């Protein structure tokens, strides 16, 4: 019986695989643009913009209110195929994909 933990014997990392989002509506790249807009590209190659200006400036923005700070807004990133910001703020990739696939843009208000 083993009585001590040897970090070199821990092989859990060896069995973990990298998660690669494959659903067509998963985001692969995001770029912050001026005026609270984003440029996004999805796994299936669909590209377009997200206009969040009305949504972010709305007094009812709730948990999205921190995005009013443009420096904070520019901290946008992709995590597991989802557009996110610090503080667990994210937006729906499937709704975004549908709107962009149909109109080239998703306008949140």
pTM: 0.78
Residue with token string 């910001």: 85
Residues 31-85 pLDDT 10s: 999 999 999 999 999 999 999 999 999 999 999 999 999 999 999 999 999 999 9
Using CB atoms within 10 Å of the CB of residue 69, give its burial: 0 to 12 exposed, 13 to 18 middle, 19+ buried: exposed
Q: Distance between CA 37 and CA 31 in Å, rounded? A: 9
Q: Which domains does the chain have, with CATH numbers?
A: 21-107 (3.30.2020.10)
Q: Distance between CA 1 and CA 93 in Å, rounded? A: 49
Q: If you average pLDDT over residues 18-25, what whole number do you get?
A: 72
Q: Residue 56: helix, strand or coil by DSSP?
A: helix
């Amino acid at each position: 019986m083993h009585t001590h933990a040897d970090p070199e014997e821990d092989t859990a990392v060896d069995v973990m695989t990298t998660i690669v989002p494959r659903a067509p509506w998963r985001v692969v790249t995001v770029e912050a643009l001026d005026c609270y807009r984003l440029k996004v590209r999805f796994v299936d190659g669909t590209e377009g913009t997200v206009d969040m200006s009305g949504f972010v400036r709305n007094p009812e923005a709730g948990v999205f209110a921190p995005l009013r700070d443009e420096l904070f807004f520019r901290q946008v990133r992709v995590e597991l195929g989802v557009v996110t910001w610090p503080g667990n703020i994210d937006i729906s990739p499937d709704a975004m994909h549908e709107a962009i696939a149909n109109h080239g843009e998703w306008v949140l208000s």
